[in-house]
Amino acid sequence: MGGGPSCCNLSISPVVYVGKGCNRGCAMGKLLLVVALLSVAGCTQQVVHADTQPPTSSTSSAAPSSSSAAPSVEPSTTTPPPPPPPPPPTPCDITDGACVQLSTNQTWLLRGNKIAHGPFPITSGMPGYNTPIGKFPVLRKVKDEWSKPYNGPMPYSTYFTHSGIAFHEGSLTQPSHGCIHLARGAAATYFSELSIGETVQVVA
């Protein structure tokens, strides 16, 4: 730190003065002493920097955000399809029972003034055996009926006149002798759904 010489500038001469009173052994001892002094005074200079803190960057940027904004979702403008239109009303004025329309060869089962089953296709009486028009109560039901006058099967017969007119399974291409012919599934439905005393209305 001061104005003194650096240890690296020190010079110690290895020359040893040997006096007259010093023999060879004495001179050798002095020489060893000088060598030891030289090794102790070895020049080792260490420079220490006072400021060892690395500089910080003033231009560091913030880390990019790992999450990105979700894209906006436009509300759907698709309108749902309209509900199917209600079935057309039947030509009958009853709210419960069976309705038959002869001119269109159709029949329906009604519950609570709504169509529960149908329309089903039918065939009705041929000329001379016309199916009667009007309102009639269900009189009786015979599942495995046989027609004695016409010698033929009448499955799922549901009678609604005292003259023997009934709903039953029969041909949908050939007219009847006054009964209402239905396909097998429809005849079974009428047989199951219509109760004794319920109304059957037949219109032209």
Catalytic residue among 8, 162, 177, 179: 179
Does the annotation count 179 as an active-site position? yes
**Reduced 3-state DSSP string for the chain:** CCCCCCHHHCCCCCCCCCCCCCCHHHHHHHHHHHHHHHHHCCCCCCCCCCCCCCCCCCCCCCCCCCCCCCCCCCCCCCCCCCCCCCCCCCCCCCCCEEEEECCCCEEEEEECCEEEEEEEECECECCCCCCCCEEEECCEEEEEEEECCCCEEEEEEEECCCCCCEEEECCCCCCECCCEEECHHHHHHHHHHCCCCCEEEEEC
Catalytic residue among 162, 168, 177, 181: 168
- Cα distance between the two ends of the chain: 134
Does the annotation count 49 as an active-site position? no
Q: Which residues are catalytic?
A: 168, 179
